[in-house]
Every structure is written in structure tokens, then in C-alpha cells.
Amino acid sequence: MVKTLTLNGKRLPGIFSFFSGIGMMAASILTIQHFFLANYPRTIFEGSFCDISAFLNCDNSAFSSIAQVLGIPIGYFGLIVGLLVALGALFPSESFERTNTFIAFLNVLGVAGLFIYSVFLLGSMCLFCAGFYIFSILSFILFWRYGIGRSQEGFLIRFFRPSIKILVTVFCISALGAYGMIQYHEAKKEAKAAVALRIINQFYELPVVGNPSFISPYWTVRSTENFEDAPIQVIEYVDFLCPDCQFLTQQLNIFKEEFAGKINVAFQFFPLEGQCNVVVDKDLHPGACELSYIAAYDPAKFIAIHDEIFANFIAARKPEWRQELARKYEVEEAFNDPATREIVQAIINTGKEYEKTSDLFAHGVRSTPTMIINGRMIIGTLPEEQMRAIFQDLVAKYESGKKFIENWVPPKARKVKR
């Protein structure tokens, strides 16, 4: 009798098949966990998993439009595939192997599509996703090389002979699990109000670190002439090539409309590149210093350049695109202008003024984005609802304070002499 991947004896390929299934399951569970952690952090101290570089990070995937399907994290489907492959190795049968061969083919097509989407559209790669891709490709190779029907000619005969009975059973069980996942997701959404209240309390429990000695003159939102006069005061330490910074910029674009006239946002250059920032010990985002110089050279053009960089986030990594950007805005001198380098360096150096928040880092500001909101430091990003809750409370406290002063001051004292 012909031996196949899982039939007629436990051979080494069968063991590899089992562990490829386990690997897919592990990567999928981590992906699901990260999806909920990034989108629904339970405390102000939690955040997304990684920003190893502009390319290697999990945040773009967690916030992307395909991170979920109808409320189901995409990692759930990978979990089902991995489970089937592992079970097929433990409880082998001809129908099970034919079905898994079919699923392995569909899965590797999905992996190819997700890889193309991640690399060429998102411009990044999630490490958890990469792990799933590797185990998926390994699984497909095993079924292609050792699977049932390999001696038969014809692609359809090999890969399109699943057991309808098993497929229907898997679909029904998966549908129940998907329904539970949807309910869990909805519960997370409904809990946002309670979580937002907890986030507000935690925000006020943060130590007051104060504003830096030098607040950047480059503001993305200006409601008052004096920075401290606005109810909401945000100082953002930002790297133009940081995925989370792009996400934060999108949030602040929403909030500048919602809180018009009540918010100031100062942009503190903090490129994570050793060429101009001694805080980082390696070049996480090569080209970030050049982008800072381009944006800083002419303050009158800062907003336009700032918006164009984040609108072309992937292209901005290319040196030729940066050169073209400088030519477009007629700021070619930015790369070597001493005054520009001096002001960017002065802004970067303010990150050294804060006490370190971890023994692993010498300074408090050591990653991006880092926000100083009304004198309190938040490292990383927050979901839109939680940020909105903090801003609403700051405005409410500011306005209630004004009303208290107005009510406390005698009417005659409030009259303006003409």
C-alpha cells in the first residue's frame, strides 16, 4: 500500500505536517490576540506589539481594512486551517487527507494574496503573519510532495477531491466559532465606554512631566497663539516613517475638526535614525532625518509637506522620492542647511529632558509616537474612542473652570471699562 503524508505509518513528513499545523495555530492565536490588544487596549499602558522598523511591524496589519471580516479577525480563519492540518496528522484517513490537500491549496493562495497586500499596499510585514505564511507554505509543500494522489496526473484530481461531508462539518463548527468571535468582538466594542472612563482615570494618575523646554514652532493644529492657552495641548514626538505615527496623524486630523478652536498640536521631530538622533542605537527608519529637514526648512510649507509625506508613507522611504519632494517645494537646500539641522536637533534633544521610563532606555522619550498631553506622557497610540474621551474631559474641566471663575468674580469686577 502506498504511503502518503499521513497514511500508513508515522513518517517524518507526517510529523512535519503536524507541527506545521501547530505553527499555523500559534501564529494565528498571536495575531488574534494582537488585533484585540491593538484595537481595544484595556489600560493606558497597553498598546500595540511592535515597531521593529518601518517595514517589520504588526500595527499596520492590526489597523488595516482587512484585519477583520464581518467582525471576525482574519487570524481566526488561519486558526481553523492549522487545526485541521494538525488533526489530520493525528487522526489520518483518506478523506481527511484529500480534504486537507484541498484546503492547503486554497490557504496558500490566500497567503499569496495577503503577502502581496501587506508588502505592496501596506508596505509592511507583521511578524505573526509572516510566521503563519511560512508554516502555510511548508504545509502546502508537504501535501504537494507527499500527499495522496501525487502519482496521479491532473491538477484537479490531486487538489480538488475534498470530502463534502468533512467540509460541511468543518463549516458548521467554524460558523459556530465565528459567531462566538463576533459576539466577543461586539462585547469589546460595547465595553468601550467603561474602558474609556478607566482610561480617563488612568490618564490623571500619570505623573505630570510638563512640556519640553523648547516647544516646536511647527504646529499641525493651532487654535491659540500661546500653546498653553488651549484646553487640549498635545506635543507629539513623531517620526515620519513610523507606522503608528501615521495612524496618530489620521486620528488628530479627525480631532482637529471635532475640537476646533480648543486644541493645539506641536510637532516635535524625533526621527528614529542615528544620523541625527543619538537616542536610538540603530537606524530603525533610514531617511527619517532627511524628511525632518525637508519639512522644517520652510515653516510656511511645513503643513503641506507634512501632509504629503504621510499621504505617501511607503514612497517616502525611497531616497529619490525625498529628492523629488524637496524639488517640488523648492527646499533643496534643506539637506545641508545648518539652521535647519540646528532647529531639528534642538527639538530632538528635548527628548533627553524626561526621566527614563524603563531601565532599558536612557531617556523618557525613546520611541514614536510619544505624546505629552497637557503635561502627561503617553507612549504609543490609543484607540480613537479613548483619545476622544480624554480630550472631552480636558475640555469639560477647562470650561467648568472658566465658569467657576466667572461665577466667583463679582459682577462689577467683570465689567469692562469703555
Q: What is the pLDDT of residue 244?
A: 86
In this structure, are 167 and 133 located in the same domain? Answer: yes
- State yes or no: pLDDT of 250 exceeds 50: yes
Tell me, yes or no, whether 400 lies in a domain: no
Tell me, yes or no, whether 6 lies in a domain: no
Using 50, 70 and 90 to split pLDDT, how confident is the model at 164? very high
- State yes or no: pLDDT of 225 exceeds 90: yes
Q: What is the pLDDT of residue 132?
A: 95
Q: What is the pLDDT of residue 49?
A: 47
The secondary structure element, H or E, covering residue 69 is strand 68-69
Rounded Cα gap, residues 138 and 159, in angstroms = 16
Rounded Cα gap, residues 291 and 240, in angstroms = 7
CATH code of residue 123: 1.20.1440
Q: What is the pLDDT of residue 64?
A: 81
Q: What is the pLDDT of residue 409?
A: 47
Tell me, yes or no, whether 85 lies in a domain: yes
Looking at the structure of the chain, the number of domains it has is 2
In this structure, are 158 and 213 located in the same domain? Answer: no
Nearest by Cα to 136 from 299, 230, 26: 26
Using 50, 70 and 90 to split pLDDT, how confident is the model at 165? very high
Q: Percentage of the chain surpassing pLDDT 90?
A: 59
In this structure, are 63 and 117 located in the same domain? Answer: yes
In this structure, are 181 and 205 located in the same domain? Answer: no
Q: What is the pLDDT of residue 152?
A: 64
Copy the grid coordinates of residue 35: 488585533
In this structure, are 242 and 314 located in the same domain? Answer: yes
CA angle 70, 76, 81 (to 5 degrees): 125
Place of cell 526621527: 271
Q: Are the beta carbons of 55 and 116 closer than 8 angstroms?
A: no
**Sign of the alpha-carbon torsion through 212, 216, 220, 223:** positive
Q: Per mean pLDDT, which of 88-102, 113-127, 271-285, 298-312 is the most reliable? A: 298-312
Q: What is the pLDDT of residue 370?
A: 92
SS3 of residue 142 by DSSP = helix
Which tops the pLDDT comparison, 381 or 252? 252
In this structure, are 203 and 82 located in the same domain? Answer: no
Tell me, yes or no, whether 299 lies in a domain: yes
- State yes or no: pLDDT of 139 exceeds 60: yes
Using 50, 70 and 90 to split pLDDT, how confident is the model at 23? very high
Tell me, yes or no, whether 402 lies in a domain: no
Task: Kindly compute the dihedral angle of the four CA atoms of residues 399, 401, 404, 409, in this order, to the nearest 10 degrees.
Answer: -110
Copy the grid coordinates of residue 414: 467683570
- State yes or no: pLDDT of 411 exceeds 70: no
Q: What is the pLDDT of residue 192?
A: 73
Which tops the pLDDT comparison, 356 or 107? 107
In this structure, are 323 and 340 located in the same domain? Answer: yes
SS3 of residue 66 by DSSP = coil
CATH code of residue 209: 3.40.30.10
Question: In a 10 Å sphere around its CB, with 0-12 CB exposed, 13-18 middle and 19+ buried, how is residue 393 labelled?
Answer: middle
Query: Average pLDDT, stretch 87-104?
Result: 92
3-state secondary structure 16-37: HHHHHHHHHHHHHHHHHHHHHH
Using 50, 70 and 90 to split pLDDT, how confident is the model at 40? confident
Lowest mean pLDDT among 90-99, 336-345, 406-415: 406-415
In this structure, are 279 and 154 located in the same domain? Answer: no
Rounded Cα gap, residues 44 and 196, in angstroms = 9
Rounded Cα gap, residues 357 and 249, in angstroms = 24
In this structure, are 164 and 218 located in the same domain? Answer: no
172 lies in which domain range? 12-190
In this structure, are 247 and 217 located in the same domain? Answer: yes
Which tops the pLDDT comparison, 63 or 326? 326
β-pairing, 219-221 vs 232-238, is unpaired
Mean pLDDT of the chain: 86
Q: Per mean pLDDT, which of 55-59, 89-93, 323-327 is the most reliable? A: 323-327
Nearest by Cα to 249 from 263, 265, 233, 260: 265
Q: What is the pLDDT of residue 359?
A: 57
Calculate the alpha carbon distances from 256 to 162, 219, 295, 335, 388 in Å.
54, 12, 20, 31, 11
> Which of the listed residues 156, 190, 224 is the one where a domain comes to its end?
190
**Sign of the alpha-carbon torsion through 11, 15, 18, 24:** negative
Rounded Cα gap, residues 299 and 217, in angstroms = 8
> Which of the listed residues 142, 168, 190 is the one where a domain comes to its end?
190
233 - beta bridge partners? 264
Q: Percentage of the chain surpassing pLDDT 70?
A: 87
Using 50, 70 and 90 to split pLDDT, how confident is the model at 358? low
> Which of the listed residues 190, 218, 233 is the one where a domain comes to its end?
190
- State yes or no: pLDDT of 62 exceeds 90: no
In this structure, are 78 and 227 located in the same domain? Answer: no
Rounded to 5 degrees, what are φ and ψ at 371? -115, 140
Q: What is the pLDDT of residue 360?
A: 55
